[in-house]
C-alpha cells in the first residue's frame, strides 16, 4: 500500500528546516517523500535474521589527522545568520519546563 504524505506534513518539515517552498515544490516533494518511505517499507520486509549489523560494507579505518589548535570564528560571525540573537548568545524558544507560562 503506497504511503501518503500530506502537503501539511511537507510544510511542517519545511518550516522546521527553515525552507521556503512554493506550492509546486510542496506537491513535488510530497510525492518524492512517499516514494522514499515506500522503498524503506520494502527494505523492512527483508528477513535479516542472523545478519550482524555493520556500519559500512567495506573494512575501512578512519584516516585521522593530528589535532591542531586553530583560530575559531568571532562571535559576530557565529551570530551572523541567526534569526534571533542577543549577543553573545543565540535566542531560542523555550523547550523545557512549564509550557503553559510561555
Can you give the residue ranges of every domain in the chain?
7-44
Q: Are 87 and 75 in contact (CB under 8 A)?
A: yes
Give me the pLDDT at residue 39, please. Answer: 93
Q: Whole-angstrom Cα distance, residue 39 to residue 1? A: 11
Helix/strand/coil percent split, the chain, to 5? 40, 5, 55
Give me the pLDDT at residue 69, please. Answer: 93
Give me the pLDDT at residue 10, please. Answer: 95
**Fold for domain 7-44?**
Histone, subunit A (1.10.20)
53-100 residue pLDDT tens? 888 888 888 888 899 999 999 999 999 999 999 999 999 888 887 756
pLDDT confidence band for 102 (50 / 70 / 90): very low
Q: pTM for the whole thing? A: 0.48
Amino acid at each position: 500500500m503506497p504511503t501518503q504524505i500530506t502537503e501539511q506534513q511537507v510544510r511542517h518539515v519545511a518550516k522546521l528546516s527553515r525552507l521556503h517552498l512554493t506550492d509546486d515544490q510542496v506537491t513535488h516533494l510530497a510525492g518524492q517523500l512517499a516514494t522514499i518511505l515506500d522503498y524503506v517499507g520494502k527494505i523492512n520486509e527483508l528477513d535479516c535474521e542472523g545478519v550482524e549489523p555493520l556500519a559500512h560494507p567495506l573494512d575501512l579505518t578512519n584516516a585521522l589527522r593530528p589535532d591542531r589548535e586553530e583560530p575559531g570564528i568571532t562571535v559576530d560571525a557565529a551570530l551572523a545568520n541567526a534569526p534571533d540573537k542577543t549577543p553573545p548568545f543565540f535566542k531560542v524558544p523555550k523547550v523545557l519546563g512549564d509550557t503553559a507560562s510561555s
